[in-house]
């Protein structure tokens, strides 16, 4: 199984940049597509897709969210962080079954 | 707009069975694969099953293989998850989601406890 590793928490100040990382245990590339996706989940809510295939903004997601990376190392950047962005963020791979999620990074205010 | 509405939540005893449903609207359900994902209390997300648009292929996580069955009825725009031999570790919020991960239901809580 592909294991995705995320730091458990990240503390940021409002208006600053947040960088959340996700490392895969093996490459998640198929046909030059990086099959990593990012989600935001707030307490009591379902996850919301933010970024698909590493760097593509999902529909309706603000441009302050961006994704980058290739192969095994990926980053979700939020710039600038707003109060509404306080949530837990998950990466997920769809390179191969079983589709796995990272453990989540809880974004907290400094 | 994609809408997914799960139903079937409840409290059951270990060893029993339960069936969840997910009714889809706002897109052509019969054209898309569908997933079930679960989240144990205070834990992360776990993908558990995928079904192709035409039911031709189904995939399961090892944790549920042989106990859970994913199915669909395209005439009713409905996805199902039949869960047998339930264990306490199956206690979780269960979500259905579209193949491209853009649409998620609000989730239903399944509690397995004596």
Q: Using one digit for the tens of pLDDT, what is the confidence trace for A31-74?
A: 999 999 999 999 999 999 999 999 999 999 999 999 999 999 99
Q: What is the mean pLDDT of chain A?
A: 97
Longest dimension (CA), chain A: 41
Place A92 in a pLDDT band, splitting at 50, 70 and 90: very high
Place A100 in a pLDDT band, splitting at 50, 70 and 90: very high
List b or e across B7-27, with b for residues whose CB sees 16 or more CB atoms inside 10 angstroms: eeeeebeeeeebebbbbbeeb
The percent of residues above 70 in pLDDT, for chain A, comes to 100
Instruction: Report yes or no: A44 at the B interface, CB cutoff 8 Å.
Output: no
B45, B59, B95 ranked by CB distance to A90: nearest? B45
By DSSP bridging, strand B10-12 and strand B108-112 are: parallel
Task: Pick the residue from chain A with its C-alpha nearest to B108.
Answer: A46
Positions of chain B with pLDDT lower than 50, given as ranges: none
The tokens for B109 are: 């809580």
DSSP E strands in A44-96: the ranges are 48-52, 56-57, 65-70, 73-78, 88-93
Torsion of CA A43, A47, A50, A56, to 10 degrees: 160
SS3 call for A58 = coil
Place A21 in a pLDDT band, splitting at 50, 70 and 90: very high
**Min Cα separation A49/chain B (Å):** 6
Residue with tokens 């996700």: A22
Average pLDDT over residues A89-98: 96
Q: Which residues of A touch B52 (CB under 8 A)?
A: none
Output the pLDDT for position A33: 96
Instruction: Report yes or no: A56 at the B interface, CB cutoff 8 Å.
Output: no
> Which of A5, A46, A51, A96 has the highest number of chain B CBs within 10 A, making it the mutation to test binding with B?
A46
* Strand partners for A22: A74
Instruction: Report yes or no: A31 at the B interface, CB cutoff 8 Å.
Output: no
Output the pLDDT for position A18: 98
B101 phi/psi in degrees, rounded to 5: 70, 10
Average pLDDT over residues A70-99: 97
Cα–Cα distance, B102 to B38 (Å, whole number): 16
């Amino acid at each position: 199984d592909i294991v995705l590793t995320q730091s458990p928490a990240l503390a940021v100040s409002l208006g600053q940049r947040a960088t959340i990382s996700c490392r895969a245990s093996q490459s998640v590339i198929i046909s030059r597509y990086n099959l990593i996706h990012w989600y935001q989940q707030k307490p009591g809510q379902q996850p919301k897709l933010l970024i698909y295939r590493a760097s593509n903004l999902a529909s309706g997601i603000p441009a302050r969210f961006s994704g980058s990376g290739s192969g095994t190392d990926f980053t979700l950047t939020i710039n600038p962080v707003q109060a509404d962005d306080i949530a837990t963020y998950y990466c997920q791979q769809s390179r191969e079954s079983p589709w796995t999620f990272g453990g989540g990074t809880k974004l907290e205010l400094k | 707009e994609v809408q997914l509405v799960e139903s079937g939540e409840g409290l059951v005893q270990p060893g029993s069975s339960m069936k969840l449903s997910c009714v889809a609207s706002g897109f052509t359900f019969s054209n898309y694969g569908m997933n079930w994902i679960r989240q144990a209390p205070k834990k992360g997300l776990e993908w558990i099953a995928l079904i192709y648009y035409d039911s031709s292929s189904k995939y399961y996580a090892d944790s549920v293989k042989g106990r859970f069955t994913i199915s669909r009825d395209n005439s009713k725009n409905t996805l199902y998850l039949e869960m047998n031999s339930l264990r306490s570790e199956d206690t979780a919020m269960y979500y259905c989601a579209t193949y491209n991960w853009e649409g998620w239901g609000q989730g239903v809580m399944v509690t397995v406890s004596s």
